[in-house]
């Protein structure tokens, strides 16, 4: 096959070209995103039931749905969330199941559920989008009120955007949706002999549009249509409540109630620093290309421009992922480009042969285009991770071409020698059969080793696919593209490169005139290209630029280009071993080798120091001390109690670790938290104030806050939850600040991102609002993971919330003393006050009322049921009727709700029906002690009147605790019904459940000890407490340990396995390659340690954190670091087939082996290393995600130089000792031969 490819160069090249064009097309059409979608494979189900409390939502909707949906096949878990009037279920399916199939399944099940849910509650499927797919958000701005803007949004913008392909949903946020409100004063209508029911009936009968066929008059058909729909406030006011035809008079609604257009009850709002805004958030359908969709959305918005302009409105985006996507892909493309250029330069520098370099370089773009083609076919999006995979592979990709070209060159040189020996001219034409045969032989020779080598690299990297969950989703694209790129490169290296070598390497010469013209042209183009802009290298996030002036650079570059072209046309076959680069390498190597051989002990010590040093700074003392600690523990001492341990821990804390390196998204998401009790107005006040403060920071371009939720299933935020998107200006526009230096001078520079974040945090700090500064995508990632911020949490699952809370409280006390456990605290959701209407059955009986009558009255008079709908344009707005605000904004007014008794028998105020709480008057010596002794719920109900007197309000039917309570003696001196008729409790703002069970958490962090140990000890304490009865698990409850620690351990565990498996595979491969356990040992013990230590060094020096990305970098390193050792070892092993006679011969053989291998080794190392350098200096967005992956590789490859010496040195040492011993055994007194330096 190789032969066929080489013999038909045109066919091969045509096929290659075709593939390349297909790859180019795929490159243009591959979906582009910033980072891979990390969300679970989930289907969202949501149901709305307006006005219901979270508890009722949970009880009647969420838990019932959970029970039903949990049984579906493939469901991993169902997470539930019940908010005020809305219930959300996240049905999480197993990975790798088709989302649409899952949706169908859920839908099928939902269709059977009608009887299970309360009437009027319809569960719906959320959009086929994920929270990470919220890619674009905008506001409508202009001099119109929020209601108008919202109307325009709903009527004009949203329908238009929904039609854009790829848009899963358009979620309106903020503004007010119009509704007609009829405010009634109950006392007043009663005075007129009316009841609320009568008004509601009147509104319901208000009217509708109807058609009554048509009449034909003189051949003309006239349609008859009656218009009766409510269309305006006047229509509502004119609804007739009561009329008397005989008297000729009626009462209109407008006469007895206030009618107005107002906003519906709001779930959330948007506001910038000065005013409320109206906007929408675009959700991207899964597997769609965000860039295309965003552009389509923007185009559609542009088309809507004139329509909006007529309304004096304009679209202002406040979040736009496309900029980030553009910038990250820009960074990556330029990094890739730089990597390719660097690699080519390295190849040219080493081969010093342009034609060969050309042949080598071709496999790079070919491999990449092949990757893009495969990505397009697999539906993998081009994002930081997948492109980083290619970037990492670049240095390796080129190796196949190099080896192939080298071998072919070697054979051609041999052919030339042969011809010279035979006294004939060497064939110079590519079409000479002798040349073709030589090339085929040479290509066949290395084809198998190349495939093997590619296979080892790929196999070494395969374990990355074993990563699970987020890490898996994040790094799978990287592993995939790297694998693909290497496969593509090896295929092109084996099939295309020989063809190119056949065409390029024979020493054909181009005609001088033609060449001259070509060189001149190329030089001219190069000159023209560079004369204007010069050449610039952006530094430090593009804020500083290093620029070479064009007039200086262009002539140089033009000369370079034209001489290259000249050279290309007239190049001869050259033996690479003899070019100046090789000679230089040889000389340097020899110089170093001799000296190292002299100071072998020093070398060993240096290696050991480097290795331990690297691990110390990288992993840190707390990890490395474990064996020592075991020794101490065996000796009965505790290492942790020594000063040595402390000093070491302080000196070598290791680099920090986190899950994902933060991607600089160019925008921040500020999420201050207020206690659950916060109301809409207070939250809005806080949000607007903070927006104003944030806007005062000069680096901020725009700020827009959202509180509560947008109208989408993807945003289950209760009111009082603020999310503020802070867009930063482009770095170039950041103002210069003065920074006083220590010595008194002043440094003038723009602030760094970290400084700006700190400044924002400082400026927006409002006591009482707990801040959280993250970035938009980062936030989604964090929110996806667990929702629990602390590392460890004890999760208690059960049915009874109160019991769970009590258990958690007790568990907190049991755990708190665990060594190493800090910040132990039960997660108390502050809670919202609830005013519960509890009815007294005896009182109900007295008035002959049913509970339903009371509930209906409460619902209609306070909640305001939508009685009818108005029809305006495409939209319908509800008409609600309820008590006027001043009649329902205080408890004493609320209890006066009129419950209509039987027809014509008046109405009973609610206060006459309530089971009012009882106030117990208490006398005790020490009220403070009493307060402390009471449980929390009772504490909240204890009112202290004076130091000796207090009042305890308890719900009707509950008895006060018995007198000596926790050692406090008190007496109940009297009791009276509470003036507030309602029973006030503290309830949750949102109820989270997992698998249909309520959850409660005790959070803790581990400091100074490993998480696993802390969890183990805490668990032991918990078990002990459960065993001796200090703690009782509520019936039906279970507990388990969860948290980020779980993820971390799982990731660590997987990582450990991956590294172990990779290592094992590598060791086997090394042994297979070298056939010697000695060399395998040397390679693993010296090279592996030093190389990985080098990785750690660079990671530490760079100030990076140990993220999964760094770990992946280490795996990459693992794949490449053994290559040199293996090759060198193979050669050495070959040389030592026969045992050497003396030390001099050992040295001789080892050096010869090293001689053959060192240039290619240095060259492949150099390509790997230098191709990654552009990643390190790249500064644009997205580079911070790639750099950590590259750091271990670069550091490791730098240190890997050691392996060029370690194998020969230790191998020689071993043979010296062996020879010495044999001579010692054979000849009597030891004449230890001095290590020879003769080579």
Partner 1 sequence: MIWKGWMTALAGLATGAGVLLLLPEETLFTPVMPETAVAPSQTGERYACPMMDFIGTRPGDCPVCGMRMTKVTAGELTAEQQRRMGIELAKVTEGPATATVRAYGAVRYDERTLQVVTPRVAGRIVKRHPAALHAGELVAAGAPVVDLYSPEVFAAQAELAAAVKLADAHTIHALVERFMRWNLPAVGAAIIGGGTPVDTVTITSPYAGLIILPSEGAGMSAAKLPNVGQEVMADTPLLRVVEPRSFMISVHVPEARAHWLRLGQPVKLSSDDRGELPSVQATLAWLAPELDPAIRAREIHLHLRDPEGLLLAGSLVEARIAVALDADLRAADPSRTEPARFTLVPKAAVLSTGVRHVAWKVAGRRPDGSLTFALAPLALGPRLEDEAGNDVFIVRAGLQPGDEVAAQGAFLIDSQAQLAGTPSLLFPRGAAAPVHRH
Interacting positions 993-1032 with partner 1 (CB under 8 A): 1003, 1005, 1007-1009
Looking at 73-81, 210-218, 489-497, 889-897, which segment touches partner 1 (CB under 8 A)? 889-897
Site string for partner 1, 1154-1183 (x = CB under 8 A): ------------------------------
For position 946 contacting partner 1 by CB under 8 A, the verdict is yes
For position 828 contacting partner 1 by CB under 8 A, the verdict is yes
Looking at 485-493, 620-628, 863-871, 930-938, which segment touches partner 1 (CB under 8 A)? 930-938
Pair 1142, 1220: CB distance under 8 Å: no
For position 1223 contacting partner 1 by CB under 8 A, the verdict is no
Tokens 């949004």 sit at which residue?
A: 153
φ/ψ (deg, to 5) at 129: -135, 165
C-alpha to C-alpha distance for 382 and 22, rounded to whole angstroms: 16
**Closest separation in Å from C-beta 949 to partner 1:** 9
Looking at 308-316, 356-364, 417-425, 909-917, which segment touches partner 1 (CB under 8 A)? 909-917
- Burial track 1215-1238 (b if 16+ CB lie within 10 A, e otherwise): bbeebeeebeeeeeeeeeeebbee
Instruction: Tell me whether residue 642 or residue 1222 sits nearer to partner 1 (CB atom).
Output: 642
**Closest separation in Å from C-beta 827 to partner 1:** 6
φ/ψ (deg, to 5) at 1034: -60, 155
C-alpha to C-alpha distance for 1093 and 1235, rounded to whole angstroms: 30
φ/ψ (deg, to 5) at 155: -85, -35
Instruction: Tell me whether residue 261 or residue 1220 sits nearer to partner 1 (CB atom).
Output: 1220
Token output for 67: 């029970």
* Number of residues near partner 1 (by CB under 8 A): 111
C-alpha to C-alpha distance for 435 and 428, rounded to whole angstroms: 8
For position 485 contacting partner 1 by CB under 8 A, the verdict is no
How long a stretch of residues is the chain? Answer: 1239
User: Which residues, 6 or more positions from 978, have their beta carbon under 8 angstroms from its beta carbon?
Assistant: 916, 917, 918, 919, 953
For position 817 contacting partner 1 by CB under 8 A, the verdict is yes
For position 788 contacting partner 1 by CB under 8 A, the verdict is yes
C-alpha to C-alpha distance for 790 and 1047, rounded to whole angstroms: 12
Instruction: Tell me whether residue 528 or residue 906 sits nearer to partner 1 (CB atom).
Output: 906
**Closest separation in Å from C-beta 789 to partner 1:** 6
Helix (H) or strand (E) holding 124: strand 124-125
For position 635 contacting partner 1 by CB under 8 A, the verdict is yes
**Closest separation in Å from C-beta 1214 to partner 1:** 15
- 217, 643, 1137, 1141: which one contacts partner 1 (CB under 8 A)? 643
Site string for partner 1, 103-142 (x = CB under 8 A): ----------------------------------------
CA neighbor of 1114 nearest in space, from 1101, 1098, 1103: 1098
Contacts (CB under 8 A) with partner 1, residues 418-437: none
Pair 1197, 1169: CB distance under 8 Å: yes
Q: In a 10 Å sphere around its CB, with 0-12 CB exposed, 13-18 middle and 19+ buried, how is residue 987 labelled?
A: middle
For position 819 contacting partner 1 by CB under 8 A, the verdict is yes
- 835, 855, 1024, 1064: which one contacts partner 1 (CB under 8 A)? 835
C-alpha to C-alpha distance for 1235 and 1230, rounded to whole angstroms: 14
> What residues pair up with 794 in beta bridges, in sequence order?
1002, 1041
For position 890 contacting partner 1 by CB under 8 A, the verdict is yes
For position 940 contacting partner 1 by CB under 8 A, the verdict is yes
Token output for 847: 């008035």
For position 958 contacting partner 1 by CB under 8 A, the verdict is no
Contacts (CB under 8 A) with partner 1, residues 705-744: 717-718, 721
Instruction: Tell me whether residue 410 or residue 985 sits nearer to partner 1 (CB atom).
Output: 985
φ/ψ (deg, to 5) at 932: -65, -30
For position 831 contacting partner 1 by CB under 8 A, the verdict is yes
C-alpha to C-alpha distance for 997 and 999, rounded to whole angstroms: 6
For position 651 contacting partner 1 by CB under 8 A, the verdict is no
How many degrees, rounded to 5, is the angle at CA 882 between CA 876 and CA 887?
145
Instruction: Tell me whether residue 866 or residue 1025 sits nearer to partner 1 (CB atom).
Output: 1025
Looking at 197-205, 861-869, 900-908, 1159-1167, which segment touches partner 1 (CB under 8 A)? 900-908
SS3 573: coil
For position 885 contacting partner 1 by CB under 8 A, the verdict is no
**Closest separation in Å from C-beta 74 to partner 1:** 29
**DSSP per-residue string spanning 386-413:** HHHHHHHHHHHHHHHHHHHHHHHHHHHH
For position 449 contacting partner 1 by CB under 8 A, the verdict is no
Site string for partner 1, 672-691 (x = CB under 8 A): xxxxxxx---x--xx--x--
User: Which residues, 6 or more positions from 1003, have their beta carbon under 8 angstroms from its beta carbon?
Assistant: 788, 789, 790, 792, 793, 823, 824, 825, 826, 827, 1043
Token output for 1238: 């003769």
Sign of the dihedral defined by the CA atoms of residues 786, 787, 792, 797, in that order: negative
For position 907 contacting partner 1 by CB under 8 A, the verdict is yes
Pair 521, 564: CB distance under 8 Å: no
**Closest separation in Å from C-beta 833 to partner 1:** 4
Contacts (CB under 8 A) with partner 1, residues 1022-1081: none
- 951, 1019, 1052, 1142: which one contacts partner 1 (CB under 8 A)? 951
For position 912 contacting partner 1 by CB under 8 A, the verdict is yes
Contacts (CB under 8 A) with partner 1, residues 160-219: 185, 187-188, 190-192
**Closest separation in Å from C-beta 773 to partner 1:** 5
User: Which residues, 6 or more positions from 397, have their beta carbon under 8 angstroms from its beta carbon?
Assistant: 363, 364, 367, 485, 486, 488, 489
**Closest separation in Å from C-beta 1226 to partner 1:** 15
Site string for partner 1, 743-772 (x = CB under 8 A): --------------xx--xx--xxxxxxxx
- 22, 901, 1173, 1220: which one contacts partner 1 (CB under 8 A)? 901
For position 626 contacting partner 1 by CB under 8 A, the verdict is no
Q: Where are the beta strands (DSSP E) in 732-805?
A: 736-740, 746-750, 773-774, 792-798
Instruction: Tell me whether residue 616 or residue 671 sits nearer to partner 1 (CB atom).
Output: 671
φ/ψ (deg, to 5) at 642: -105, 155
């Amino acid at each position: 096959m190789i032969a066929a490819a080489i013999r038909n160069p045109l066919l091969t090249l045509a096929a290659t070209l075709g593939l390349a064009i297909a790859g180019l097309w795929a490159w243009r059409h591959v979906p582009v995103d910033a980072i891979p979608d990390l969300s679970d494979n989930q289907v969202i189900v949501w149901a709305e039931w307006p006005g219901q409390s979270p508890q009722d939502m949970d009880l009647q909707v969420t838990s019932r749905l959970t029970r039903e949906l949990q049984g579906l096949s493939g469901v991993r878990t169902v997470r539930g969330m019940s908010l005020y009037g809305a219930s959300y279920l996240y049905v999480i399916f197993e990975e790798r199941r088709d989302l649409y199939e899952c949706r169908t399944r859920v839908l099928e099940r939902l269709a059977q559920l009608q009887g299970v849910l309360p009437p009027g509650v319809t569960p719906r499927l959320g959009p086929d989008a994920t929270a990470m797919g919220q890619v674009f958000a905008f506001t409508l701005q202009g001099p119109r009120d929020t209601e108008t803007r919202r109307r325009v949004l709903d009527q004009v913008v949203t329908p238009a955007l929904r039609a854009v392909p790829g848009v899963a949903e358009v979620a309106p946020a903020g503004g007010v949706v119009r509704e007609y409100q009829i405010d009634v004063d109950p006392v007043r209508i009663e005075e007129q002999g009316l009841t609320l029911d009568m008004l509601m009936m009147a509104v319901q009968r208000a009217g509708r549009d109807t058609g009554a066929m048509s009449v034909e008059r003189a051949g003309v058909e006239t349609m008859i249509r009656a218009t009766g729909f409510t269309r305006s406030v006047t229509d509502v006011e004119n609804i007739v409540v009561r009329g008397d035809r005989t008297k000729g008079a009626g009462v209109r609604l407008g006469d007895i109630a206030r009618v107005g257009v107002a906003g519906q009850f709001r779930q959330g709002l948007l506001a910038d620093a000065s005013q409320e805004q109206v906007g929408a958030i675009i959700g991207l359908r899964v597997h769609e290309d965000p860039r295309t969709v965003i552009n389509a959305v923007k185009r559609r918005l542009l088309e809507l421009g004139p329509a909006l302009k007529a309304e004096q409105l304009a679209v202002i985006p406040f979040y736009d992922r496309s900029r980030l996507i553009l910038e990250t892909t820009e960074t990556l493309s330029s990094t890739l480009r730089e990597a390719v250029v660097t690699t080519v330069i390295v190849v040219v520098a080493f081969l010093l042969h342009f034609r060969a370099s050309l042949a080598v370089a071709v496999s790079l773009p070919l491999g990449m285009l092949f990757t893009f083609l495969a990505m397009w076919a697999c539906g993998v999006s081009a994002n930081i991770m997948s492109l980083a995979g290619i970037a990492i592979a670049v240095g390796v990709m080129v190796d196949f071409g190099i080896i192939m070209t080298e071998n072919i060159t070697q054979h051609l040189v041999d052919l030339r020698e042969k011809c010279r020996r035979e006294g004939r001219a060497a064939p110079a034409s590519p079409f000479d059969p002798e040349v073709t045969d030589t090339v085929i032989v040479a290509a066949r020779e290395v084809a198998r080793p190349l495939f093997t080598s590619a296979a080892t690299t790929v196999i070494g990297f395969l374990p990355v696919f074993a990563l699970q969950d987020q890490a898996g989703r994040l790094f799978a694209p990287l592993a995939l593209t790297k694998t693909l790129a290497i496969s593509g490169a090896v295929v092109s290296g084996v099939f295309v490169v020989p063809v190119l070598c056949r065409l390029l390497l024979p020493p054909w010469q181009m005609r001088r005139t033609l060449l001259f013209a070509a060189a001149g042209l190329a030089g001219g183009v190069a000159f023209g290209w560079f004369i204007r802009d010069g050449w610039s290298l952006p530094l430090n996030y593009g804020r500083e630029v290093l620029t070479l002036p064009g007039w200086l650079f262009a002539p140089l570059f033009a000369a370079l280009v034209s001489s290259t072209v000249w050279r290309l046309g007239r190049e001869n076959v050259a033996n690479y071993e003899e070019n100046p680069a090789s000679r230089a390498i040889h000389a340097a190597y020899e110089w170093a080798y001799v000296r190292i051989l002299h100071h072998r002990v020093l070398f060993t010590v240096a290696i050991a120091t480097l290795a331990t040093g690297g691990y110390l700074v990288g992993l840190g003392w707390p990890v490395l001390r474990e064996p020592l600690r075991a020794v101490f523990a065996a000796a009965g001492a505790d290492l942790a109690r020594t000063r040595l341990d402390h000093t070491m821990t302080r000196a070598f804390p290791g680099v920090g670790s986190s899950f994902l390196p933060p991607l600089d998204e160019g925008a921040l998401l500020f999420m201050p938290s207020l206690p659950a009790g916060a109301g809409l107005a207070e939250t809005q006040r806080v949000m607007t104030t903070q927006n104003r403060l944030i806007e005062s920071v000069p680096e901020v371009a725009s700020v827009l806050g959202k509180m509560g939720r947008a109208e989408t299933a993807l945003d289950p935020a209760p009111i009082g939850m603020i999310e503020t998107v802070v867009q930063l200006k482009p770095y170039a526009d950041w103002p210069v600040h003065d920074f006083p230096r220590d010595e008194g001078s002043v440094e003038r520079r723009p602030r760094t991102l970290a400084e700006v974040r700190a400044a924002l945090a400082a400026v927006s700090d409002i006591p009482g609002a707990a801040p959280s500064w993250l970035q938009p995508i980062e936030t989604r990632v964090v929110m996806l993971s667990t929702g629990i911020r602390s590392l460890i949490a004890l999760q208690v699952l059960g049915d009874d919330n109160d019991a769970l809370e009590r258990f958690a409280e007790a568990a907190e006390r049991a755990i708190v003393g665990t060594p190493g456990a800090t910040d132990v605290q039960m997660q108390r959701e502050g809670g919202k006050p609830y005013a519960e209407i509890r009815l007294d059955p005896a009182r109900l009986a007295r008035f002959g009322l049913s509970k339903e009558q009371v509930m209906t009255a409460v619902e209609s008079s306070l909640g305001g049921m939508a009685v009818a709908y108005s029809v305006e344009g495409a939209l319908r707005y509800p008409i609600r009727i309820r008590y006027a605000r001043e009649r329902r904004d205080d408890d004493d007014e609320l209890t006066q709700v009129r419950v209509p008794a039987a027809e014509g028998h008046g109405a009973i105020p609610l206060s006459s029906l309530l089971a009012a709480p009882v106030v117990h008057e208490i006398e005790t010596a020490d009220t403070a002690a009493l307060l402390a002794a009471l449980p929390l719920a009772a504490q909240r109900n204890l009112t202290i009147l004076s130091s000796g007197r207090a009042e305890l309000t308890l719900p009707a039917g509950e008895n006060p605790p018995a007198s000596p309570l926790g050692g406090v003696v008190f007496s109940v001196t009297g009791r009276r019904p509470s003036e507030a008729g309602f029973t006030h409790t503290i309830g949750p703002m949102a109820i989270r459940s997992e698998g249909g069970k309520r959850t409660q958490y005790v959070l803790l962090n581990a400091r100074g000890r490993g998480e696993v140990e802390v969890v183990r000890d805490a668990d032991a304490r918990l078990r002990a407490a459960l065993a001796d009865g200090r703690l009782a698990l509520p019936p039906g409850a279970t507990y388990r340990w969860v948290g980020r620690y779980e993820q971390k351990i799982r990731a660590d565990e997987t990582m450990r396995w991956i590294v172990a498996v990779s290592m094992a595979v590598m060791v086997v491969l090394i042994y297979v390659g070298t056939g010697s356990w000695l060399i395998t040992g040397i390679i693993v013990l010296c090279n592996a340690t030093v190389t990985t230590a080098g990785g750690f060094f660079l990671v530490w020096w760079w100030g990076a954190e140990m993220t999964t990305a760094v770990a992946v970098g280490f795996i990459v390193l693992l794949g490449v670091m053994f290559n040199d050792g293996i090759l060198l070892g193979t050669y050495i092993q070959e040389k030592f087939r026969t045992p050497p006679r003396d030390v001099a011969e050992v040295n001789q053989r080892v050096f010869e082996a090293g001689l053959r291998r060192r240039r290619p080794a240095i060259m492949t190392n150099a390509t790997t290393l230098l191709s990654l350098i552009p990643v390190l200096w790249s500064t644009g967005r997205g580079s911070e995600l790639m750099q950590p992956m590259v750091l271990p590789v670069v550091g490791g490859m730098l240190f890997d130089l050691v392996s060029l010496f370690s194998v020969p040195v230790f191998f020689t040492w071993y043979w010296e000792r062996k020879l010495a011993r044999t001579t010692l055994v054979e000849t009597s007194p030891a004449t230890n031969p001095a290590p020879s330096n003769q080579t």
